[in-house]
Amino acid sequence: MTHPTRPEIEAAAARIAPHVRRTPVMRMAGADLGLDIPLILKLELLQATGSFKPRGAFNRMLSADLPAAGVATASGGNHGAAVAYAARALGVRAEVFCPTGTPAAKTSRIEGYGAVLHRIGAAYDEARVASEARAAETGALVVHAYDQPEVLAGQGTVGLELEADAPEATHVLVATGGGGLIGGIAGWYAGTPTQVTSVEPESCPTLATALKEGRPVPCPVGGVAADSLGARQVGALMFAVAKDHVGQAVLVTDAAIRDAQRLLWQALRLVAEPGGATALAALTSGAWVPPPGARVAVVVCGSNTDPANVTG
């Protein structure tokens, strides 16, 4: 298995450009967040549907001949909303399978974009099995949340934009669940001096465990960010990238994630969901300490939560 190449990511960027937003980069004084270094934030929480996920969904769907049965997918919420959004834009049917605990802030978006929503199972993996069975039954195209080459290449366009808009970044912090986002970003930065670091909740340590074991293995799923970072194990495709091109896998507590959410609101008036604030939590909690002279970029990757959970 090979990582998504720069030409593949560049092709994805051109393919999806009419359908996604080029999200802004914010340079800020780290003191606003209690840090003693300047900071670069890639504000992917401002992407269509409130997360980075439309990039991979559109690239997968625009790279295929879409069948009459449309598309099927499983999701903790954000990917399902992205697939529903992309399906509506491209005029095809979508069925989305979510765990029963998926927050209403996410399921309402899925249904609002016109997809058929199925609530099944306690965790993402059960929903995934159901979605694949449904696709086999109907002939729908499976749009995987993270473990397809087109999805990784689509998510890699975050890295393409970040390097173009903040070429000075020496380190990029990215939250990891199934690994599509960090797999794509690490693929883009492969062969460059920029180091990509994974950040995960202690209660969903999929990549940290895989790197320790030398292969993707099932892990516990729990905690405040489980709806967006709660894959039971990382994808095989992204692991092939991560083992060579992700410099470190850092774990943070749920309390640190909540603190990062509050800091983003208090300092910047940005509402981030727990998964969206996880990468920042590595810095604000001290779980990851930048080396001297580092120019750190953080991907803030999702905003789909009830604002009262952050601002109340």
Q: What is the CATH number of the domain that holds 263?
A: 3.40.50.1100
1 found inside a domain = no
pLDDT, mean over the chain: 95
Burial-class residue 193 by CB neighbours within 10 Å (0-12, 13-18, 19+): exposed
For residue 140, the enclosing domain spans: 54-148
17 pLDDT tier (thresholds 50, 70, 90): very high
232 found inside a domain = yes
> What residues have CB less than 8 Å from 202, skipping those under 6 apart?
223, 251, 252, 253, 254
- Say yes or no: 213 and 186 in one domain: yes
φ, ψ for residue 194, nearest 5 deg? -70, 130
Total Cβ atoms within 10 A of residue 69:
16
195 found inside a domain = yes
- Say yes or no: 47 and 172 in one domain: yes
CA 96/CA 81 separation, integer angstroms? 8
pLDDT tens for 210-234 read 999 999 999 989 999 998 998 899 9
**Residue 123: predicted pLDDT:** 86
The count of domains in the chain is: 2
Q: Confirm if 81 and 51 have CB atoms less than 8 A apart.
A: yes
Examine the pLDDT at 2 and tell me if it is beyond 70: no
- Say yes or no: 42 and 19 in one domain: yes
In DSSP terms, 248 is beta-bridged to 197
Lowest mean pLDDT among 155-159, 161-165, 217-221: 217-221
Show which of 148, 181, 204 is a domain's final residue: 148
Tokens 């919420």 found at: 77
312 pLDDT tier (thresholds 50, 70, 90): low
- Say yes or no: 142 and 166 in one domain: no
Structure tokens at 71: 């598309």
pTM: 0.96
- Say yes or no: 78 and 202 in one domain: no
